[in-house]
Amino acid sequence: MLPSDPPAPGTPPDPPVNSADRRWLHDKFERLAAEEGQLATGRTTYYAAIGTVLITGLLVVLADLLNEPSLLVVSVTFLAGLGILISLVWAVLLHRTNDAQNLWREAARLLERENPPVEGILTGAITLRSGETMNVNLLRPYLAHEARFAHLRQVSWMDRVDPLALVEVLPLTFMVIWSSVLVIVWFWYLLLR
């Protein structure tokens, strides 16, 4: 049975979760989200380094083989194909990692909303970058984060940009660059030389 399926008629309800278990579960969600964030950062660094090396290789090939069109086209086609493949793998992995991070953050937020890990309220005034002061319940950090970035607040457009989605633009940009290089070199080879 999937977790989202309703319980079958006649089955006993799930036992209540005690406070220690809720705290453990909330901490687990936070750790899982942090691990996914580290994976995304590591993958971005790794694949960006590979992309940079490939672009450097492209520049070297262009400089050295400009007088040998057939060898130039073969070399650039190989580099562009490899660049497209690496960018595609990078985009897929980064998208999946970011989705997993959002899943764990959402799970922690729902847990805070439905069944908070720590009972009670501990209010604190947080001063935002804009200078605005906001009162939040410090025992529910994910809900405080949600309130901070709510569209009802007067936050800057930069605060509304999702950094995870923005990071996913990088591999797609590399893919467009490599596809353009591939089209340009074949257009030059077949029509312009």
- Taking only the tens place, the pLDDT of each residue in 57-103 is 999 999 999 899 999 999 999 999 999 999 999 999 999 999 999 99
Give the domain extent around 60: 19-118+164-192
CA gap 157, 7 in Å, rounded: 43
Token representation of residue 88:
């595609």
pTM of the entire structure?
Answer: 0.77
pLDDT tens-place string over residues 6-52: 666 777 666 677 888 888 998 999 999 999 999 999 999 999 999 99
pLDDT at position 183 is 96
| pLDDT recorded at residue 18 | 84
Query: How many residues belong to the chain?
Result: 193
Residue 8 lies in a domain: no
Helix (H, G, I), strand (E, B) or coil at 58: helix
Residues sharing a CB contact under 8 Å with residue 139, sequence separation 6 or more, in sequence order: 116, 117, 118, 120, 121, 122
Residue 114: inside a domain, yes or no?
yes
Is the pLDDT at 177 greater than 70, yes or no?
A: yes
Q: Is 149 a domain residue?
A: no
pLDDT in tens, 93-133: 999 999 999 999 999 999 988 888 888 888 888 887 777 78
Number of structural domains the chain divides into:
1
- DSSP codes, 28-47: HHHHHHHHHHHHHHHHHHHH
Tokens of 177: 């660059």
137-174: pLDDT as tens digits: 888 888 888 877 776 666 677 777 778 888 889 999 99
Q: Has residue 1 got a pLDDT over 50?
A: no
pLDDT of residue 188: 92
Q: Is residue 132 part of a domain?
A: no
Is 39 within the bounds of a domain?
yes
Reply yes or no on whether the pLDDT at 193 is more than 80. no
Sorted by sequence, the CB contacts under 8 Å of residue 64 that are 6+ apart come out as none
